[in-house]
Structure 1
């Protein structure tokens, strides 16, 4: 079987008609209207989205410029906090509706209505103003999924400060480098947070980082653990700041194209890359993203089971979710703590109707077993939507059968600011593993190395062919880096640096990073293609494939697997045979390594580059700041050594 046959097999999943229980004629009609607007002119569609929001000043023009240098809704003025918090708090029908339903890992809970959220956001905004924070200043938010993450972000939005969320798993060096790169003027931090049953000290880490972050003038401390915090010079209490500013702060009218926040990407580069998203563009795009992907209606409880440090959480919860006036469930800790039923417990306790998570979460639940799922039927659940990594067909099938709800697979990137291709909830049919078709307002192509579009069934480079509001506008302090990274390879188009293929039905299949394509004896193989076969083994729950140098073949694949059941002695040979029989000997893994843990980010993305480094060097050598469990590298190293 050659590479084309393998690809055809991977994307041959049949269309699965959406169960009539989940179809919505009203949404189908609305989507038809939106697609008609897009077909006439995508900018007409974005006007339709813009008109769903409250503007302080109406715009004069819809769009100016093209990819690399574009602006939307020139002349308009808008505020994100006004649209996500205040307009719902001012409405008698929604003022007392829960906005955030929060649960801590130890089991403590807190609920804020929209009226209460608006009050706390206003008080914190007033407090930040009293500390000298104003329009255009940068505020870092260093905490996990706490209510205060919502209030800090929207307090910044209210006064026009630029926020940047620092992953709560970052250590001293990662925090210091990002604070320095952002030129942060203030930090809002939790004293500590709970993770896997123990407190993780954040304030200590921040204090150690501050000598290398000279622009930081103020630190606002949230006493998460209630242990009592002895404040150092330059630190103020979050609670005291709220108490001192009952009158809040004025809402600032902002240009929709100015920076709202920056998010730093992790990778092999030594210099942090701060991707910048805009005020109005991000608001409008994330509203549309949640509208089509989650389809919230009155009475829903939407749980975004992701970390606030992963852009998915601001997209789906803090901005896009609240922009709908939705009730957002928020959980602080690990989904398997104190035991494997925690995911189900949260869904039951808070009446969750929609869940967004990484595919890794579904694979974790599958590993926990069918009996546990059967003990927790989740009658209110209506949708599970996943993103962040490719969704394999086996996991799709298991989740569909187990939970009996649509499993919507979406694709997007930090730089795109939202997912932009997926089956629209309540309308579109599904395909196991595909990312559906683009939603209105977005256009793409799959091209070869010379930039020529390839036909259906042929894989190539995924590019975006026209602007859309949520696309990142620049790299902080380095616009040339932005242009060269995203527009240098295919001028006039945004390069996702992912490989993809379109099937005969027009569905998009994202195969993974272009640099995860390995060249074995002159045959280009996507690691996702090999992983998709490996996960069909009945005992394999999760798989990751990486390429390593080989003197004869140039590169050979190595597969890491986690398994269920008892002894795994036979699994490596069985997996190698399975891949050889399915794809061909050229794709047969050189090694299959059974490991109890894989290095992942807190959002569940497998860090394949670290796995490759452990294979090649016996240790991880690049950025590990996003690693959720440092002990997973020790487990992996032991597995590699055999």
Structure 2
């Protein structure tokens, strides 16, 4: 199969010279040691951190085989520590107290601030004392529903300082979703904000929370307190000061006396000293809910010591972080990427990061590139969805700004198609940056497949090789290992420190979901292929695989072919029943700005797929999509597309979509051949 994915790009010589891992030979030696002597490998890394009690005997133990007893993963079980102490106090002891921990960049370019490690510790201690004053103790759950503001980081670390477990719900989820998660984790307190601007859209978060709190109460759980950050009021006051005579917009935040509390009022009298609560290595740190195949979200539970080691190590090596670098991950903290690579990983390395509340398109389509220039970003981490969305505006928005500070570009969230990879590499990275196309999950806690800057020769679209401590295998449907080149289920045969330990309150579901299909392996649910040189290419969820006339296809593979067309900005593919083939391809296409969607374009796209993959893969339906249904974090909601393909208007909850109106537009745009196909089935 020809195309850009066959090209190999070698690390820039300047990166190689200073890289933590500077050759494939060094990588292979380190990777082998991490698998053969994990106690030594991770034990040396553990020496960088403070342990109130050290490991006495076994550094780790596990059972992945459901037939041999309960699934169990434990690292440094006898040790005790506090992750907040390691992220803040230890770095301050090292002389980093006055170093900027976060530059905060708001939705409006005029809204920005910064916080040092010393000041962040003061805020964290004060809010930890606030939580304690309301009865929050070690092991209690604190729900968080907030925008990308510094108080979100403060709340997370305050929980970890006193041994409480935080459960963050992305601030774009509906009231029903928030209520369900608070009820499931039995949250004691909810921390939120009055509202937030996303682009030019105002979201009243407190009103969503009030609905969720009522729903949670009706299904059997009362959240005791709701602490509210007056984010909108602060922004209004700040703009009023900048523009004398300006009247801030009036919005009265709903308030329930006795339950609701203002953040600022609570912080006023709180002490800025809070002694850390030492917790056992396997005590829970946080839970984060992720989608389940049954529809009920799964409360993925991560514990303390192993997660600390893995977040710190992946951040250091995957982004090749060095003191003095400025790093920016665009992810919302409501997702696992934000947990590990906005908060825990960077702070564990004493890094300076940018925390961004805005969108890539507000107030203009060059906002990302403007921020990179403003803070002289060295390490940049974003999603393929964002890259493709920005590509359609052409090269000019990028060229307006100085990208010369960049050294490493990261990709996360889904496989990146080679064309987006090349645009990212050539235009944004100016042909000199390493690109780290990372594969991992909420459940893995951190990167499991990834290139390393200065080390790994890069192939556009490939996640390349496993990180330290990770041993991947490809299995066929019968659980047989596929040796050499081939394609199958992506599984892992050994644990790494940062992986999930269970699903909160449901260990049986944990075992069934991840370990039952292939006993002895953690099953990711994703497919992958290995090429002749051992590179791994993630092909997408196995439930996003199609069997077309006996040929196994991944939707990612077809999408990659479609977006190679120069007139296509984005593409999404879903399966559709077919009377003869069993399944066929139903494709949604968003053209570049100014491009007319025509029968000629459709014919060219079908030809492109036939040429790229084979005649059997030719799309049955190609539908014009003015936009794709995306969550506010940028992920395509494929279940909505499946409903559109089947002309089924029962699409379920769409409150997390960035633009709910796109759903009706998609139904209205269904082409005649879609109805014919459905009738034939």
Q: Under a length normalisation based on structure 2, what TM-score does the superposition of the two structures give?
A: 0.90
- Residue number in structure 2 paired with 1:219: 226
Query: Which residue of 204, 222, 232 maps to 2:256?
Result: 232
- 1:400-446 residue CA offsets vs partner (Å, 9 max, x unmatched): 11122222101001111111111112222211110011121111100
Partner of 1:313: helix, strand, or coil? helix
1:534 paired to 2:562: yes
Q: Which stretch shows the higher mean deviation, 96-105 or 15-24?
A: 15-24
Deviation of 1:54 after TM superposition, in Å, equals 1.6
Partners of 1:14 and 1:286 in 2: how far apart?
31
- Contiguous gaps of at least 5 residues in structure 2: 65-70, 234-250, 673-681
- Residue number in structure 1 paired with 2:543: 515
Partners of 2:230 and 2:648 in 1: how far apart?
40
Deviation of 1:24 after TM superposition, in Å, equals 3.0
- Residue number in structure 1 paired with 2:461: 433
Distance 1:338 1:558, change over 3 A: same
Q: Contact 2:81/2:281 (CA < 8 Å) preserved in 1?
A: yes
1:21 paired to 2:14: yes
Aligned residue pairs, count: 634
- Residue number in structure 1 paired with 2:104: 102
- Residue number in structure 1 paired with 2:675: none
Partners of 1:601 and 1:273 in 2: how far apart?
18
- Contiguous gaps of at least 5 residues in structure 1: 1-7
Partner of 1:525: helix, strand, or coil? strand
1:170 paired to 2:173: yes
Deviation of 1:367 after TM superposition, in Å, equals 1.1
Q: Contact 2:13/2:454 (CA < 8 Å) preserved in 1?
A: no
1:42 paired to 2:35: no
- Residue number in structure 1 paired with 2:196: 193
Q: Contact 2:281/2:305 (CA < 8 Å) preserved in 1?
A: yes
- Residue number in structure 1 paired with 2:608: 578
Q: Which stretch shows the higher mean deviation, 396-405 or 120-129?
A: 396-405
- 1:308-358 residue CA offsets vs partner (Å, 9 max, x unmatched): 111101111110111111111011121111110111121122221111111
Q: Contact 2:502/2:510 (CA < 8 Å) preserved in 1?
A: yes
Partners of 2:576 and 2:369 in 1: how far apart?
39
Deviation of 1:621 after TM superposition, in Å, equals 2.6
Distance 1:449 1:20, change over 3 A: same
- 1:448-485 residue CA offsets vs partner (Å, 9 max, x unmatched): 01111113321000001011111111111110000000
- 1:254-274 residue CA offsets vs partner (Å, 9 max, x unmatched): 111121111111255332211
- Residue number in structure 2 paired with 1:550: 578
- Residue number in structure 2 paired with 1:69: 72
Deviation of 1:46 after TM superposition, in Å, equals 1.7
- Residue number in structure 2 paired with 1:629: 659
Query: Which residue of 88, 95, 109 maps to 1:85?
Result: 88
Partners of 1:352 and 1:338 in 2: how far apart?
20
Partners of 1:529 and 1:251 in 2: how far apart?
49
Query: Which residue of 103, 122, 125 maps to 1:122?
Result: 125
- 1:537-592 residue CA offsets vs partner (Å, 9 max, x unmatched): 11112111111111221111011111113312121121012212332221100111
Q: Contact 1:267/1:623 (CA < 8 Å) preserved in 2?
A: no
CA RMSD of aligned residues (A): 1.8
- Residue number in structure 1 paired with 2:246: none
Q: For 1:395-406, what aligned pairs fall within 5 Å after superposition?
A: 395-403=420-428, 404=430, 405-406=433-434
Partners of 2:120 and 2:475 in 1: how far apart?
46
- Residue number in structure 2 paired with 1:448: 476
- Residue number in structure 2 paired with 1:5: none
Partners of 1:279 and 1:627 in 2: how far apart?
33
Distance 1:400 1:295, change over 3 A: same
Q: Contact 2:35/2:470 (CA < 8 Å) preserved in 1?
A: no
- 1:290-321 residue CA offsets vs partner (Å, 9 max, x unmatched): 11111222221111101111110111111011
Partners of 2:368 and 2:453 in 1: how far apart?
22
Distance 1:176 1:53, change over 3 A: same
Q: For 1:64-463, what aligned pairs fall within 5 Å after superposition?
A: 64-67=61-64, 68-91=71-94, 93-107=95-109, 108-213=111-216, 214-226=221-233, 229=253, 231-233=255-257, 234-267=259-292, 269-403=294-428, 404=430, 405-463=433-491
Partners of 1:282 and 1:489 in 2: how far apart?
26
Q: Contact 2:21/2:317 (CA < 8 Å) preserved in 1?
A: no
Q: Under a length normalisation based on structure 1, what TM-score does the superposition of the two structures give?
A: 0.95
- Residue number in structure 2 paired with 1:52: 48
Query: Which runs of at least 4 in structure 1 moved beyond 6 Å after TM superposition?
Result: none
- Residue number in structure 2 paired with 1:471: 499
Q: Contact 1:125/1:248 (CA < 8 Å) preserved in 2?
A: no
Deviation of 1:286 after TM superposition, in Å, equals 0.8
Q: Which stretch shows the higher mean deviation, 61-70 or 262-271?
A: 262-271
Deviation of 1:32 after TM superposition, in Å, equals 6.6
Partners of 1:598 and 1:624 in 2: how far apart?
13
- 1:499-554 residue CA offsets vs partner (Å, 9 max, x unmatched): 10111211111000001111112222111221121111111121111111112211
Partners of 1:452 and 1:384 in 2: how far apart?
36
Q: Contact 1:301/1:329 (CA < 8 Å) preserved in 2?
A: yes
Partners of 1:24 and 1:480 in 2: how far apart?
48
Q: Contact 1:174/1:625 (CA < 8 Å) preserved in 2?
A: no
Deviation of 1:625 after TM superposition, in Å, equals 5.0
- Residue number in structure 1 paired with 2:669: 639
Distance 1:198 1:624, change over 3 A: closer
- Residue number in structure 2 paired with 1:498: 526
- 1:121-172 residue CA offsets vs partner (Å, 9 max, x unmatched): 0000000000111101000110121101100000000001000111111111
Partners of 2:272 and 2:562 in 1: how far apart?
59
Deviation of 1:39 after TM superposition, in Å, equals 5.0
